Structure 1
Amino acid sequence: MKAVTHSDIDYHWHKWIFDNLLAGCSVESMVKTVNQSTTCEKSAVIAAIYAAKGHPYIEAAKALKHTLAKRHWLLETYDQLAAMDTRYATQIEKRAAPSFDIFIKEYYSKHLPVVLTGGIQDWPALANWSPAYFEQKFGDKQVEVQFGREKDPLYERNSRQYKKQMLMREYCQLVTQGGASNDYYLTANNNRECLSELATLFDDVGDFAPGYRKPENINTRSHLWFGPKGAFTPLHHDLTNNMLVQVYGRKKVTLIPAAQVENIYNDKHVYSATDFPDVNKEKFPLINKTTPIEIILHPGEAVFIPIGWWHCVESLDISMSISFTDFKVKNDFFSRFPRER
C-alpha cells in the first residue's frame, strides 16, 4: 500500500493548517491537536504542518492579513470618531432640501446620510401617482416584474431568475388585491425593460430641488420601485451615492455605516450573509457591534444613502419610489469596485 504523504492529505486538513498558521497558532499546539484527533493521516498531517511553516505562500498571506488589519483599524477608528456626530450613529438628520452646494459640503462629501423634505413638491408624480393612476394611464403597457421571490431566500442575488412579463393593469391589480407580500416587486433592476413602455411616466418627475440632477438624464436615469406592502430589499450596499425619493406610501429604511463592514459578514458582491434584521446572533455575533438606524420615509421625503452605507428597505404600505444617482458631481466610483472572480 502506498504511504500517505503530506501532499496527499484531505483538502480540509490543508485548509485547517493554512487557517491556523495564519491565525498565529504554534506548530506545537497544532501537532497536539492532530495527535488527539481520530484521523488515520496523523503522520502525513503533521508532516504537512512542518512543510507549511515558513512557506512563501503562508508568509505572503500573513503580510496581506496584516495590511487588511491596518485597514480595519483605520475604518474602526473612523467609525468611532464619526459617531461623535449623533447624525451618524443615533439619529439621521431631517431637514428641508438645501442648495446643492450645501448638500455637497455637509452630506455628500462627508459621507453622511440625511432625510430631505421639499425636494419634489413640484413633481406631478407627488399629486398623481397611485395604483389607480398607473392602471388607467399605463394599464396596457408591458412591464417586467420580479415574481416568485418568496421561494428563494437569496431572491435579490438571483433576481435574474425571477423576471416575469405582465401588463401594468395585471400588476396593479395584484398589488392592490393581494395584500402584504414580498413575492412580487417592480424594482429598478427591471427598469431597462420598462423604460420604453413607460417613457411618458417620467414626465411626472423632475429635478430634486434646483440643480441636484443632470436635466438630460431625468427621463432615463430615474429608477422606479413599485410594490405591495411587505416588499423587502435585503441588507446590501450600493456602488454609487443614491437618493431614494418616496412618492406614494411609506417605507422603512434601515441604515448601517459603511465603516462597520467588518461586522456585517459581507459574503458575496454587495450582500450580507445575515438575514438582517432577523439575525442569528450566535452564528453572526459581530452584528451586535453595528449601529443600525431606522427611518420612516413619507411621501414627498427623500433619503440620501451614501455609497457603501449598508441598508435594507421595507414597504409599510403599497409604495412607489424613485431613486437616482445622476448628481451633478462625481459619482462613478463603482468603476474601481473589485469584481467577483
Structure 2
Amino acid sequence: MQSHVTQLRQSEANSGIEYHWCKWIFDNLLNGSTPESMEKTITAGTAKNKSALIAEVYRVANDPYLQAAKEMKLTQDKRNWLLDTCDKLAALDQRYSTRLEKRAVPTFDEFVREYYSKHLPVVLTGGFDHWPAREKWNPDYFSQVVGEKEVEVQFGRAQDNQYERNSPRYKKRIPMRDFCRLVVEGGTSNDYYLTANNNQSSSQELKELFEDVGEFGDGYRLAESVKRRSHLWFGPKGTCTQLHHDLTNNMLLQVYGRKKITLIPAFQVPNVYNDSHVYSAVDFPNVDLERYPKMSGVTPLEVILNPGEAIFIPIGWWHQVESLDISISVSFTDFRAKNNFFSNFPR
C-alpha cells in the first residue's frame, strides 16, 4: 500500500490542489469532520479555488483509502485506550507514578517477581560494591591503564539538536589519554561522550578496564557474558542522552560521579510523540505544549543516581539522562531472564 504522504502528493499532482490542502482534507476527514462542516470552513475562508477544494472534500470522503485509514485509526485508538487504562491502574502504586523506590539489591528471583515482570523501575544499592572498579575508576586511572589506546567516541554532538538519532555521523577515534584530558579540563560539555554505542568498536582497547567489573547482585547476569556485554559510558559534566526508550530491559550502574535520570512510563507512549525509531520529536524538558499538547499528560519521575547505585530501566520506559559531574557508568542487558524482545520491533 502506498504511504499516506505519497498518496497526498499524487493527489496534488492529479488535481492541482496544493499538498497542504490535501493533507488538511485527509486529516480532518480521518479525525471525524463531516464534508458539510468542512465545506462551510472553505466557503468562509480566503482560498482561491474554493469549488475545487469542496469537490475534493466530497471525493476523498468516499475514497477507499480513507476508509482503510479510518479502520487502522480505530484499531490504534483502541490500543491507546488500553494503554491509558493500564497507565491509570499502574499509577495506583506510588512507585510507578510519584516515587521511585530505592532499596538494597534483592535476590534475583525477587527482582524478577517484583520489578522485571511488573515493568517497574527501581534503584538498587549494594549490587556492585565488590567491583574493583568502584575503588579504581576515575579519569586518571583510565589515562594510566589504557591511555595509549585509541578509542571511539561521539564527537561534535553540540552542532546537532538531534545528535542521538544521528550519532553515527559523530564517531571519532582518539587516544584515551587525550579524551580524559578533554573530560577533565573541558568543563561542562555535551559535545563529546564515550557511549555504549562506541564500545563495540573499542572492545579490545577497553578490555583491560572490564577486568575491574563483575557480577551484579547474586546471579543477575549470564556468567559467560559479564565482561563481554558490559557497556561503558564516560564523559564530562553536561553530557545528555535525549528522551528515548530502549528495546531491552536495562540496568545502569553509576561508578563515578552522578547522573540525573528522568523517566516517563511506557504506557504513556501515545503522549510522547514518538516520531522515529525509539526517539521523541519533543525537545524535553523544554516542551512546547502548543505544538505537543499531549505531553501535558505525561508524569515524569526524576532520580539522582549516586556512585554505587544502579537503576533498572524497564523496556519501553522513556528516559533522559544527564551527567551532573564527570561521570563513569556501566550498563548491561544480559539478565538471566528473557530480554530479546527487540527482534520483532517494528522498523
Relative to the length of structure 2, the TM-score reads: 0.94
* 1:274-331 deviation per Cα after TM superposition (whole angstroms, max 9, x unaligned): 1111212222222121111111111111000000000000111100000000001110
Q: Is 1:262 aligned to residue 270 of structure 2?
A: yes
* 1:76-95 map, 5 Å: 76-95=84-103
- 8 Å contact from structure 1 (residues 114, 303) kept in 2: yes
* Paired position in structure 2 for 1:311: 319
Q: Is 1:237 aligned to residue 245 of structure 2?
A: yes
Q: Is 1:253 aligned to residue 261 of structure 2?
A: yes
RMSD: 1.3
Q: Is 1:113 aligned to residue 113 of structure 2?
A: no
Segments of structure 2 that go 5 or more residues without pairing to the other structure are 1-11
* Paired position in structure 2 for 1:206: 214
Alpha-carbon offset, residue 8 of structure 1:
3.0
- What secondary structure, in the 3-state scheme, does the structure 2 residue paired with 1:115 have? strand
Which segment drifts farther, 301-310 or 196-205? Answer: 196-205
- The change in CA–CA distance for 1:281 and 1:14 in structure 2 (over 3 A counts) is closer
- 8 Å contact from structure 2 (residues 146, 208) kept in 1: no
Supply the distance in 2 between the matched residues of 1:277 and 1:8 (Cα, whole angstroms). Answer: 41
Supply the distance in 2 between the matched residues of 1:251 and 1:53 (Cα, whole angstroms). Answer: 52
Q: Is 1:158 aligned to residue 169 of structure 2?
A: no
- 8 Å contact from structure 2 (residues 260, 304) kept in 1: yes
Partner of residue 41 from structure 2, selected from 33, 41, 46:
33
Supply the distance in 2 between the matched residues of 1:193 and 1:62 (Cα, whole angstroms). Answer: 46
* 1:277-292 map, 5 Å: 277-292=285-300
Q: Is 1:197 aligned to residue 205 of structure 2?
A: yes
Q: 4+ residue runs of structure 1 moved beyond 4 angstroms?
A: none
Supply the distance in 1 between the matched residues of 2:171 and 2:68 (Cα, whole angstroms). Answer: 44
- What secondary structure, in the 3-state scheme, does the structure 2 residue paired with 1:196 have? helix
- What secondary structure, in the 3-state scheme, does the structure 2 residue paired with 1:206 have? coil
Supply the distance in 1 between the matched residues of 2:333 and 2:90 (Cα, whole angstroms). Answer: 24
Alpha-carbon offset, residue 29 of structure 1:
1.1
Q: Is 1:223 aligned to residue 231 of structure 2?
A: yes
* Paired position in structure 2 for 1:297: 305
* 1:46-80 deviation per Cα after TM superposition (whole angstroms, max 9, x unaligned): 11111112221111111111111110110001000
Amino acid at match of 1:215: A
* Paired position in structure 2 for 1:103: 111
* Paired position in structure 2 for 1:327: 335
Supply the distance in 2 between the matched residues of 1:51 and 1:295 (Cα, whole angstroms). Answer: 53
* 1:176-191 map, 5 Å: 176-191=184-199
- 8 Å contact from structure 1 (residues 253, 297) kept in 2: yes
Amino acid at match of 2:273: Y
Amino acid at match of 1:121: D
- What secondary structure, in the 3-state scheme, does the structure 2 residue paired with 1:193 have? coil
Partner of residue 144 from structure 1, selected from 146, 149, 152:
152
- 8 Å contact from structure 2 (residues 153, 195) kept in 1: yes
- What secondary structure, in the 3-state scheme, does the structure 1 residue paired with 2:304 have? strand
Supply the distance in 1 between the matched residues of 2:32 and 2:271 (Cα, whole angstroms). Answer: 22
Segments of structure 1 that go 5 or more residues without pairing to the other structure are none
Supply the distance in 1 between the matched residues of 2:17 and 2:189 (Cα, whole angstroms). Answer: 50
Amino acid at match of 2:22: H
